A and B are shown apart, each in its own frame.
Chain A
């Protein structure tokens, strides 16, 4: 699974940058077409849900998605499958 921010919904509040235990969301610096500064993703493959959702069959963590007031955070299937080497910090 791949973490993604929906730019058509994000309003740039930056709440996601405060809640992720891995600090995957970083404040962005360039306004998009709508003038909104959407956060950037720092090595999103570290996200627990990206790695383990299929294995467990349910959403893991998901705190960023629940917190995002604008329903802009979601996970998309990777196609084609992109193998990745992930260093997990704990």
Chain B
């Protein structure tokens, strides 16, 4: 089997814009799931609302496309009602961290055995490019026309502080690493959070000096630093530019978890 077998081919091509990174992240997630020898009828995909949240609609298994921000609330219900199911959540930065922020921290605190893949394009893509809690300082969006003046959330730090067992961040450029991280998340009992930084050429790139899709992917490639490298830079007293973000596995631990398969 390959990851292609998990797609509802009659629904493709999907509605994402040309060059949207969401498709890449679905590929990597399905490639990881394909290695798990999970049965399709025992696997459920759950999402909220947003471009990212349309992902389960393109996958053959049962799925719940729920209300905005509530993917984790529904997922908690599904997993606690039937812990034998494998539950994977697709969400966006707005869905997870803005309207769904409270569900996020409490799902981490409860450490429910779910795997969450967040497509962080740093914008509300679906509704036309409003700023989100992860829009970086200085970036343009329809709600920050003079540049965002607020500091963004670090979603991985939030997940770690709130108690998630597995936390990793990669980008749509690092496809193999992302696939491995999702796999590690699927294998770890308890709450697994994988943040995939991704390009939204239509609503983020266009307003922020990324003329071509590849320009934004290049930015993600060059601005992610491995945790070890960042620590080395700090040790050597180097100043860390504000636009760098940490990539790699950021947490793996064994706090007591809920809803683990019997």
Contact = CB atoms under 8 A, between A and B. Distances in A.
Contact of B24 (A11, A12, A14, A66): A66
Contacts of A69: 16, 19-24, 27
Q: Interface range on chain B: under 10, 10 to 19, 20 to 34, or 35 or more?
A: 20 to 34
Interface string B3-37: 01001000011101111111110011001000000
A87 B212 CA distance: 33
A59 B2 contact: yes
Contacts of B172: 67
A11 B12 contact: no
Contact of A68 (B22, B24, B31, B176): B24
Contact of B4 (A8, A63, A67, A74): A74
B250 interface: no
A12 B18 contact: yes
Q: Interface range on chain A: under 10, 10 to 19, 20 to 34, or 35 or more?
A: 20 to 34
Contacts of B113: none
A49 to B, nearest CB: 11
Interface string A1-22: 0000000110111110011000
A70 B14 contact: yes
B175 interface: yes
A72 B28 CA distance: 15
16 contacts: A9-B12, A12-B18, A14-B19, A14-B213, A15-B213, A18-B218, A19-B175, A66-B24, A66-B28, A69-B16, A69-B21, A69-B24, A71-B4, A71-B7, A71-B23, A74-B4
- Please list the 10 inter-chain residue pairs (A to B) with the smallest Cβ-Cβ separation, ordered nearest first: A69-B23, A13-B19, A11-B18, A66-B175, A9-B13, A13-B18, A69-B24, A66-B27, A13-B213, A18-B214
